[in-house]
Chain A
Amino acid sequence: MHLTAEETFMISSQAPPATAMAMRILTETARLMGADRLVEITNAHIDGCVYFADSGVFFAEKLRDLGAQVSVPATLNVGALDLLRPDLVRASRHALDMSRRLMTAYLDMGCTASWTCAPYQAGYRPGLDEQIAWAESNAIVFANSVLGARTNRYGDYFDICAAITGRAPYTGLHIKENRYATVLIDLSGLPAPLLGEEAFYPVLGAWLGKTVGAAVAAFNGMPIDVSEDCLKALAAASASTGAVALFHVIGVTPEAADQAEAFGGLPPVEIIRPSLQDMRTARDQLSTAVGDKIDCVALGSPHFSIDECRQLAALCKGRTFCRPVYVCTRHDVYSALGDDREAIEAAGATFVVGTCVVVAPILKQSSGVLMTNSGKFAHYSPSTVGHEVVYGSLLDCVRSAVTGKVDRDEELWH
């Protein structure tokens, strides 16, 4: 692998020890990926700041104590604490201490206190062709697909090494030729009204991840006015059930003005035409609960945008929830909501800020039934918080939280 003179210095014994450690991890990773050089990045998103395990704290503190500082702007993913309402997280004293130590270590290294899994909606939007190194599976897919920035599917710990060195392996999705679609997803077999429903996109994402794995797909036939929040939900679900890092939407996303651009002028290797039955099956697979009782509702994975919060606020007017409703969002959204925040809280919902209910112990029970409009929450709740799941639209979730029983509009799926 070719390293520049500067990079060769960074890995040498003369380099600051934290830089050398980060560079060793980076170049080892680049070697195993088969890269023949590194590429300079402009931005990193760090997922290693959410506390799941003590070893991650020891690693971050080791880098910090060696004097590490990020060399490019680096946003932080959710933490495992709600800094506004610390009592919301029901973790052990040990876990609370470790969460705080971990968050502090990353701040000490110069990362930005963004505390969100949707940094791309918090003002940190990389542009077309921009070389970045992001972790957090949903954010990776969004940055690649919706913004046209270039990152591989990086994991926790690699992320901070990329931020310290300002480099990534020049391979995979950092190179334009590897970003062309190979699989064409033709949506013409689905009813047009379904494609106008927000509840469709997490389901399409869950189906995509299971169907294509890590391949680059391009959708044909999606409405050209599909919202950013729908694409966000699609990205998050596809990165939960599969290893999706990039998809294109022909006529919508920046590298897919038409089919020829999306596929680099080549014909698709595979064409898939999902049926309504495929979508119903994918929707049913998101749910695991038996019966119609629910114990709580969780919204906001990825973190709810201001638009999603406003939509929720409108639905909250005149309603009172009889089950806990958790709305996970970013600090800046929470601060900017004003009257809408009051409307949501007046109905009985609780805001969870800078973290979320599947990364921190916030739910009141250790088991039960959780209802959500998020494909990502639906996929992970059984394994991370021991809750069975019911998937539904935002309106379904709101109505069900009022009665405590599943109240879904099945018409959408017929």
Chain B
Amino acid sequence: MTITGHPLIEGEAEGTLLLLTAPICFWGGLDPLTGTISDPRHPQCGTHISDRIVAIPAIVGSSSSSQYLLEAMHHRKAPRAILLGEEDIIIATAVIVGREMDYPSFPIVHCAFDGLHDGARLRISVDGRIQILNTP
């Protein structure tokens, strides 16, 4: 099965999906040194996002989410890709800035989450297509 998304940041990635069940703010919500969700109010607090493809229903809250994502990129703790249920420029800009700083980039794709299951293996292509390789 393939989902067609709109690439905000183009790139390729393959990995295991972490499907967040609530919106997140990275200020206070992401520990950029460990790549862990750190907001005690978030249902998936304590989960690692680095090395995963993370589906986030919405980015809410602070303008400083950019700072936390850029710092995670700096420490190589960023996710392999981010899928966004709602378009957001605060975190997309962080990846654009990261490229200027020569940090490794990763794709951000705006898409519907229908058919996506936590733990699924996904492959993302440059044009924003998301291939579901297998579902747990």
Task: Please give the residue numbers on chain A whose beta carbons come within 8 Å of chain B beta carbons, in ascending order.
Answer: 21, 24-25, 28-29, 32-33, 47-48, 50, 52-56, 58-59, 62, 135-137, 140, 152-159, 209, 213-214, 239-243, 288, 379-380, 382-384
Q: List 5 A-B contacts (CB under 8 A).
A: A47-B63, A154-B63, A155-B65, A241-B60, A383-B29
Q: Please indicate the chain A residues that have their CB under 8 angstroms from the CB of B71 in the complex.
A: 52-56
Report whether A62 and B65 are in contact in the complex, using a CB–CB cutoff of 8 Å. no
Task: Please give the residue numbers on chain B whose beta carbons come within 8 Å of chain A beta carbons, in ascending order.
Answer: 8-9, 23, 25, 27-29, 32, 38-41, 58-68, 70-71, 73-74, 86-94, 96-97, 100-101, 103
3 smallest CB-CB distances across A and B, nearest first, come from: A383-B28, A155-B90, A53-B71
Candidates B23, B41, B89, B97; contact of A153 at CB < 8 Å = B89
Report whether A62 and B101 are in contact in the complex, using a CB–CB cutoff of 8 Å. yes
- In the complex where A32-B8, A157-B93 touch, is A25 in contact with B100 (Cβ < 8 A)? yes
Candidates B61, B64, B70; contact of A59 at CB < 8 Å = B70
Q: Please indicate the chain B residues that have their CB under 8 angstroms from the CB of A25 in the complex.
A: 93, 96-97, 100
At the interface, is chain A mostly helix, strand, loop or mixed? helix
Among A21, A156, A239, chain B packs the most CB atoms within 10 A around the CB of A156
Candidates B8, B28, B59, B67; contact of A56 at CB < 8 Å = B67
Among A50, A154, A383, chain B packs the most CB atoms within 10 A around the CB of A383
Report whether B86 and A243 are in contact in the complex, using a CB–CB cutoff of 8 Å. yes
Q: How near does chain B come to A370, taking the closest CB pair, in angstroms?
A: 14
Report whether B63 and A380 are in contact in the complex, using a CB–CB cutoff of 8 Å. no
Report whether B70 and A53 are in contact in the complex, using a CB–CB cutoff of 8 Å. yes
Cα A293 to Cα B68 in complex, Å, equals 33
Q: Please indicate the chain A residues that have their CB under 8 angstroms from the CB of B61 in the complex.
A: 137, 239-243, 379-380
Report whether B38 and A53 are in contact in the complex, using a CB–CB cutoff of 8 Å. no
Q: Please indicate the chain A residues that have their CB under 8 angstroms from the CB of B63 in the complex.
A: 47, 135-137, 140, 153-156, 159
Cα A288 to Cα B29 in complex, Å, equals 17
Q: Please indicate the chain B residues that have their CB under 8 angstroms from the CB of A384 in the complex.
A: 27-28
Cα A158 to Cα B39 in complex, Å, equals 25
- Other than A33-B89, A242-B61, A243-B88, give 20 A-B pairs with Cβ distance below 8 A: A32-B9, A52-B27, A52-B64, A53-B67, A53-B71, A54-B71, A54-B74, A56-B67, A59-B100, A135-B63, A137-B61, A155-B91, A156-B90, A157-B93, A158-B89, A213-B60, A241-B61, A288-B41, A383-B40, A384-B27
Cα A153 to Cα B86 in complex, Å, equals 13
Cα A58 to Cα B67 in complex, Å, equals 12
Return the chain A residue nearest B93 by Cβ: A158
Cα A24 to Cα B9 in complex, Å, equals 14
Candidates B59, B68, B91, B100; contact of A52 at CB < 8 Å = B68
Q: Please indicate the chain A residues that have their CB under 8 angstroms from the CB of B66 in the complex.
A: 48, 155-158
Report whether B89 and A29 are in contact in the complex, using a CB–CB cutoff of 8 Å. yes
Candidates A50, A243, A288; contact of B64 at CB < 8 Å = A50
Q: Please indicate the chain B residues that have their CB under 8 angstroms from the CB of A56 in the complex.
A: 67, 70-71
Q: Please indicate the chain B residues that have their CB under 8 angstroms from the CB of A59 in the complex.
A: 70, 97, 100-101
Return the chain A residue nearest B97 by Cβ: A157
Report whether B67 and A382 are in contact in the complex, using a CB–CB cutoff of 8 Å. no
Q: Please indicate the chain A residues that have their CB under 8 angstroms from the CB of B29 in the complex.
A: 383
Candidates B40, B58, B65, B90; contact of A213 at CB < 8 Å = B58
Return the chain B residue nearest A56 by Cβ: B67
Q: Please indicate the chain B residues that have their CB under 8 angstroms from the CB of A58 in the complex.
A: 74, 101
Report whether B41 and A382 are in contact in the complex, using a CB–CB cutoff of 8 Å. yes
Cα A54 to Cα B71 in complex, Å, equals 7
Cα A155 to Cα B100 in complex, Å, equals 16
Return the chain A residue nearest B85 by Cβ: A213
Candidates B9, B70, B89, B92; contact of A55 at CB < 8 Å = B70
Q: How near does chain A come to B39, taking the closest CB pair, in angstroms?
A: 4
Report whether B93 and A382 are in contact in the complex, using a CB–CB cutoff of 8 Å. no
- In the complex where A47-B63, A382-B41 touch, is A29 in contact with B93 (Cβ < 8 A)? yes
Cα A345 to Cα B86 in complex, Å, equals 46
Report whether A382 and B100 are in contact in the complex, using a CB–CB cutoff of 8 Å. no
Report whether B96 and A28 are in contact in the complex, using a CB–CB cutoff of 8 Å. yes
Cα A29 to Cα B40 in complex, Å, equals 31
Among B9, B27, B86, B93, chain A packs the most CB atoms within 10 A around the CB of B93
- In the complex where A29-B93, A52-B27, A383-B40 touch, is A242 in contact with B64 (Cβ < 8 A)? no
Q: How near does chain B come to A203, taking the closest CB pair, in angstroms?
A: 16
